[in-house]
Amino acid sequence: MVEILDEPTEDGAIGLCYHYKPGDWLDTVRICLAGPVMDALKSRRPFYLNDAPGGGSDIDQAWQAYVSALAPRPPVALQEWLPAEAGADLTSLVDAYTIEGWRPEGLSGQLKRKMTLFCNKYEDALEFIHVLIGQETTSLIRFMNETPAFMTCVTVVADQLLEKSRLTSTEIYEACRLATA
């Protein structure tokens, strides 16, 4: 269960989400964002969400982790009116409804209202997620810049991975300990 606060803070998702039950979606977001952020820092260029290395696939994976954790689900009354393929991609459905004017055939006035309310909530969630990703990126950049041992550890672990192609948590810990000693 995740409780979302009403207003964003400066600390990225850490300041926005309280975890009552541990999950790995936030770790997924941080791992996905860390690669492109670190690449930008290493090459001394600004980081932009839209032109991340690798075609933005890491950013997209972080986006999907946020969407699956935070975006609203359609009300039960609407589920029979939604196309079967909409379950996987509600963002396209919401865009079709709000931007392109698509409406399911035979939808009553009351259900149209529910659909409109759902689409508005979904769009608000997407805007909120965009803010969260920006804040999480800022938080990662700050952490990487202010923690001198971080880049050393990452470089050592990356070198070890190139050699062995697989590391245990103990090997990672030991490599970081030796690198920062």
Instruction: Name which residue leads in pLDDT, 178 or 22.
Output: 178
The predicted pLDDT at position 84 comes to 61
Out of 25-34, 90-99, 110-119, give the one with best mean pLDDT: 110-119
- Concatenating the DSSP letter of every residue in 89-133 gives -HHHHHHHHHTS----TT--HHHHHHHHHHHHHHHHHHHHHHHHH
Residue 60, helix vs strand vs coil: helix
Question: Looking at 80-94, 101-115, 118-132, 134-148, which range is the least confident one?
Answer: 80-94
Secondary element (H or E) of residue 140: helix 109-146
Instruction: Name which residue leads in pLDDT, 77 or 87.
Output: 77
pLDDT tens digits, one per residue of 82-99: 766 555 578 888 888 888
Cβ–Cβ contacts within 10 Å for residue 148, how many?
Answer: 9
**Residue extents of the structural domains in the chain:** 2-146, 148-181
Residues 66, 4: Cα–Cα separation, whole Å: 12
Exposed/middle/buried for residue 107 (C-beta within 10 Å: 0-12, 13-18, 19+): middle
Q: Is the pTM of this model over 0.75?
A: no
- Concatenating the DSSP letter of every residue in 26-48 gives HHHHHHHHHHHHHHHHHTT----
Secondary element (H or E) of residue 15: none
Question: Looking at 20-34, 116-130, 155-169, which range is the least confident one?
Answer: 20-34
Measure the N-to-C terminal CA separation of the chain; round to a whole number of Å. 39
CA atoms within 13 A on the CB side of 116: 8
Q: Positive or negative, the Cα torsion across 41, 42, 46, 48?
A: negative
The predicted pLDDT at position 34 comes to 76
